[in-house]
Structure 1
Amino acid sequence: GWAARTAANRGQILYRVAELMEGRRAQFESELADGGATNPGRGVDASIDRWVWYAGWADKIAQVLGGSNPVAGPYFNFTVPEPTGVVGIVSPPDQPLLGLVSRLAPAIVSGNTAVVIASERSPLPAVSLAEVLATSDVPAGVVNVLTGVVAELVPWLAGHMDVNAIDVTGVPSELRVDAERAAAENVKRVVCGPDVDPFDEAAQSPYEVTALMEFKTVWHPIGP
């Protein structure tokens, strides 16, 4: 499975996603322009850069945030970050490509899988991104894109018992409370990205990766 791949391999694959997006630049620019984007080239550039940025973190998250813990007693104590599981993501409606990449890349780089609700107003960039993912060595089933009426899909996704976490960044404000309430049924983790311009560097952070990870601590006795 995806989570069983080495971190370095996941990083290589996500870098390949960026390369394939570069090769389909004209298509993405056209779809963003059709959706009303005033500077589609800038959005495509930023999306490609964001994939590259998160790909670089693939094999560094465990090094930076995991490690050996000093404890009293004859034990080794290690903390290791692990993926949460299945993550539900709602694409921000005003940035159907960059907004989606900014939430999807940190979710899957650690080994999570994702169910994505595409922008209702401009779904084509998400569909084209799904085609890129399918041809870039990302295993089938790692990213699953749904199109449709967001108000109908969000409650279903938030309440689904096989979804382990949901990113409500792109959920309309009038639906967010209902989504969080539905997520509470199986104690689903709820995360929300920073309220910043997705073109801003503050929109990318290693903490967006760890927000969708669990930290496992292992105690191991030291032999005589």
Structure 2
Amino acid sequence: MRIEVLKTYKIYIGGKFPRTESGRFYIPKIDGNSLGNICLSSRKDFRNAVVVARSAFGEWAGKSAYNRCQILYRIAEMLESRKAQFIEEIIQQGANKTQAEKEVTASIDRIIYYAGWCDKFTQLFSAVNPVASSHFNFTAPEPTGVVSIFAPEENSLIGLVSTIIPVIASGNTCIVLASEKMPLCAITFAEVLNSSDVPGGVINILTGKRSELLEHMASHMDVNGFLYAGNNKKEMISIQKLAVDNLKRVRLKDFSTIYSNEHENPYYIEDFLEMKTTWHPIEKIGATGSGY
């Protein structure tokens, strides 16, 4: 009898597909069927991902908003071209064909939605502020930096897309821990990213156990934010405590209504923005003369 050869799904760090430093793997099963050999990422893998994410931050944040829009739209185009493969993988993970088609289509549409906001959110969140002195005073958003993400355990593709895309739309970079029990779409999505003009290091995708990586992803001093998708109270409390040391911005999201329009929201981009206020002296011109 022939032994089935299971595909090994490698992690995605810095635009490359290395095997985990730990050499470990696990085999998730759905209805008794083995999904594949999935890397069990270690804290060393996470630290490596932080280094490349920080290195990529300057280039990504420095791109024009219009260019980021083009790149995000390219992700949607490439995902559309591999639609059949994603549908097949979602079916492997326990969904029926109708559910799988709905998830892939919704994922593509959500990427396009946020691509459209890349060059528009600044108008929404910036302001010219009234001040009493002789100054122009204006506030403009800037990306926070490097963000750790726990993707939802359910709805492995649209959950991944709904957490990653709003974070990177503004110029942030990220390290994502994919769904532990449904990891297939995450690494296949990394293959899409690799052919979508996304610079290496902007999105880094790890697979493995939340219990092993939570402490490191929440406490690392070169990470600026943490997006948690889930409803485990113990995990949420741990993340908030560990994030205190360097004042990470923590956002806790419930994606149980993942297909709802509430998850297509420019304020999801605002979650990981910093507001920079600038004072610029101006000359006052009046009947009594001019001055500062």
Whether these two folds match at TM > 0.5 is yes
Give deviations 1:80-134, integer Å, cap 9, x for gaps: 0000000111110011111111111100000000000010001111111111111
State the Cα distance separating 1:193 from its structure 2 match.
2.5
> What is the aligned partner in structure 2 of residue 125 from structure 1?
185
**Distance in 1, Cα, partners of 2:255 & 2:242:** 23
**Distance in 1, Cα, partners of 2:73 & 2:80:** 11
**Distance in 1, Cα, partners of 2:194 & 2:241:** 33
CA contact (8 A) 2:79 2:108 kept: yes
**Distance in 1, Cα, partners of 2:205 & 2:232:** 18
> What is the aligned partner in structure 2 of residue 213 from structure 1?
273
**Distance in 1, Cα, partners of 2:205 & 2:245:** 23
State the Cα distance separating 1:49 from its structure 2 match.
0.3
Q: Secondary structure at the match of 1:78?
A: strand
**Distance in 1, Cα, partners of 2:123 & 2:256:** 28
Instruction: Report whether the alignment pairs 1:172 with 2:257.
Output: no
> What is the aligned partner in structure 1 of residue 241 from structure 2?
181
State the Cα distance separating 1:194 from its structure 2 match.
4.7
Give deviations 1:32-80, integer Å, cap 9, x for gaps: 1111123111000000000000000000011111132222221011110
Instruction: Report whether the alignment pairs 1:8 with 2:56.
Output: no
State the Cα distance separating 1:203 from its structure 2 match.
1.4
What residue ranges of structure 2 are gaps of 5+ in the alignment? 1-58, 284-290
Higher-Rg structure is 2
> What is the aligned partner in structure 1 of residue 13 from structure 2?
none
The Cα RMSD (Å) is 1.3
> What is the aligned partner in structure 2 of residue 28 from structure 1?
86
Check 1:124–1:53 CA distance in 2 against 1; reply closer, same or farther (3 A cut): same
**Distance in 1, Cα, partners of 2:93 & 2:255:** 22
Q: Secondary structure at the match of 1:3?
A: helix
Q: Please show how residues 47-196 of structure 1 align to structure 2 within 5 Å.
A: 47-170=107-230, 172-194=232-254, 196=256
> What is the aligned partner in structure 1 of residue 14 from structure 2?
none
Check 1:101–1:184 CA distance in 2 against 1; reply closer, same or farther (3 A cut): same
Name the % identity. 47
CA contact (8 A) 2:159 2:255 kept: no
CA contact (8 A) 2:231 2:254 kept: no
What residue ranges of structure 1 are gaps of 5+ in the alignment? none
**Distance in 1, Cα, partners of 2:268 & 2:256:** 13
CA contact (8 A) 1:54 1:105 kept: yes
- TM-score, L = length of structure 2: 0.74
Q: Secondary structure at the match of 2:149?
A: strand
